[in-house]
């Protein structure tokens, strides 16, 4: 009698098996619950320190983002291998993306000013991709729903961009205007950014590095994000011998930056 329900999703199967009276009671309870959530939302948002949220999902997303240790993911010097102390942030991001399908993740790769100009765009894209690959790997090891991160039906959710050394050069130059000592800023990293667009919420987490910064640093060109679909472009899968030599140059943080002042590792790899 119920064989025709086999091909339906679990929720539809349950609802269609309910007697009309039970279905009406369930619908009424759902409406009452939704009304209670709306009434309690300001208190829930305040309790979770997420006053910007306007929906229950918004509160959940904002609350989870508060638990992420950092939006910066650091790499071993002259490498796209992520440091162990950054794994907690990537795992938290993976859990967020699995739970909330309207969240999108953007990864921007950086490097220091010692990186050769013709190699820096490739190198920083590899770092950004490495961050995304680790998020997908963590998701896959903990949930069968990891495929949802790369499901094309809802549009891409993971994006990457290589900044070369442009952000590094700008940020260090303007940090020096505030402090005449050489700032020790580590740009062996990728910056992560989350965007959530709900029915009544727009939540952003992470820096808009391409915009003018609070310390007066000017805006940069907007990124032309690439969608990550589960595999690296061919040119980003491995390094040629010449590129490996360039990568080795990135590790040298003691070169002069042109203004007569040694960097002494200020912008690292």
Token pair belonging to 213: 């910064």
What is the torsion angle, in degrees rounded to the nearest 10, for the CA atoms of residue 221, residue 225, residue 231 and residue 232? -10
Does residue 234 sit in the same domain as residue 147?
Answer: yes
In this predicted model, what pLDDT tens digit does every residue of 109-138 receive, in sequence order?
999 988 899 999 999 999 999 999 999 999
Does residue 38 sit in the same domain as residue 80?
Answer: no
Token pair belonging to 78: 């002259």
Asked whether residue 3 is domain-assigned, the answer is: no
Does residue 61 sit in the same domain as residue 129?
Answer: yes
Task: Say if CB 249 and CB 230 are below 8 A apart.
Answer: no
pLDDT for 46 beyond 70: no
Report the domain count for the chain. 2
- Rounded to two decimals, the pTM is 0.76
| CATH number for 129 | 3.30.1330.60
Does residue 147 sit in the same domain as residue 182?
Answer: yes
Instruction: List strand residue ranges (DSSP E) for the chain, in order.
Output: 72-74, 103-109, 158-162, 189-197, 202-205, 226-227
Asked whether residue 150 is domain-assigned, the answer is: yes
Q: What is the largest CA-CA distance in the chain?
A: 84
Residue 27, phi then psi, degrees to nearest 5: -65, -40
Task: Say if CB 149 and CB 228 are below 8 A apart.
Answer: no
Structure confidence at residue 174 as a pLDDT band (50, 70, 90): confident
- Which range among 22-36, 200-214, 216-230 shows the weakest confidence by mean pLDDT? 22-36
By percentage, how much of the chain surpasses pLDDT 90? 38
pLDDT for 193 beyond 70: yes
Does residue 45 sit in the same domain as residue 60?
Answer: no
In this predicted model, what pLDDT tens digit does every residue of 237-253 receive, in sequence order?
766 656 555 555 454 33
Q: Which residue in 146, 150, 164 sits closest to 91, CA to CA?
A: 146
Asked whether residue 189 is domain-assigned, the answer is: yes
Asked whether residue 261 is domain-assigned, the answer is: no
Q: Which domain holds residue 172?
A: 55-250
User: Rounded to an integer, what distance in angstroms lies between the CA atom of residue 18 and that of residue 20?
Assistant: 6
Does residue 104 sit in the same domain as residue 134?
Answer: yes
User: Rounded to an integer, what distance in angstroms lies between the CA atom of residue 257 and that of residue 231?
Assistant: 36
Q: Which residue in 205, 197, 174, 181 sits closest to 72, CA to CA?
A: 205
Mean of all residue pLDDT scores within the chain: 78
Does residue 42 sit in the same domain as residue 84?
Answer: no
Asked whether residue 39 is domain-assigned, the answer is: yes
Asked whether residue 12 is domain-assigned, the answer is: no
Q: Which residue in 197, 205, 194 sits closest to 54, CA to CA?
A: 197
Does residue 26 sit in the same domain as residue 137?
Answer: no
Go through 46-72 and write b for each residue having 16 or more CB atoms within 10 A of its CB, e for each that does not: eeeebeebbbbbbbbbbbbbeebeebb
Whole-number pLDDT of residue 263 = 38
Average pLDDT over residues 211-235: 91
Token pair belonging to 91: 């795992």
């Amino acid at each position: 009698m119920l064989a025709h329900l086999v091909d339906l999703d679990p929720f539809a199967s349950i609802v269609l098996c309910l007697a009309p009276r039970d279905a009406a009671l369930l619908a009424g309870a759902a409406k009452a619950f939704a009304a209670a959530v709306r009434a309690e939302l300001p208190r829930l948002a305040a309790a979770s320190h997420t006053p910007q949220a306007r929906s229950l999902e918004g509160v959940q997303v904002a609350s989870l983002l508060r638990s992420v240790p950092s939006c910066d993911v650091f790499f071993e010097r002259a490498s796209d291998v992520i440091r162990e102390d950054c794994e907690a942030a990537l795992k938290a991001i993976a859990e967020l993306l699995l739970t909330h399908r309207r969240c999108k993740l953007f990864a921007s790769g950086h490097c220091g000013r010692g990186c050769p100009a013709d190699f820096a765009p490739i190198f920083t894209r590899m770092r950004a991709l490495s961050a995304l690959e680790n998020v997908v790997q963590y998701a896959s090891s903990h949930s069968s729903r990891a495929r949802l991160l790369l499901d094309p039906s809802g549009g891409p959710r993971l994006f990457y961009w290589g900044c070369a050394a442009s952000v590094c050069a700008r940020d260090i130059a303007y940090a020096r205007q505030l402090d005449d000592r050489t700032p020790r800023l580590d740009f062996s990293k990728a910056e992560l950014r989350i965007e959530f667009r709900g029915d009544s919420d727009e939540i952003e987490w992470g820096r808009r590095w391409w915009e003018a910064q609070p310390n007066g640093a000017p805006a940069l060109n907007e990124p032309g994000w690439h969608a990550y679909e589960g595999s690296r472009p061919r040119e980003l899968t491995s390094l040629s011998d010449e590129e490996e030599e360039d990568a080795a140059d990135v590790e040298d943080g003691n070169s002069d930056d042109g203004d007569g002042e040694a960097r002494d590792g200020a912008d690292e790899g």
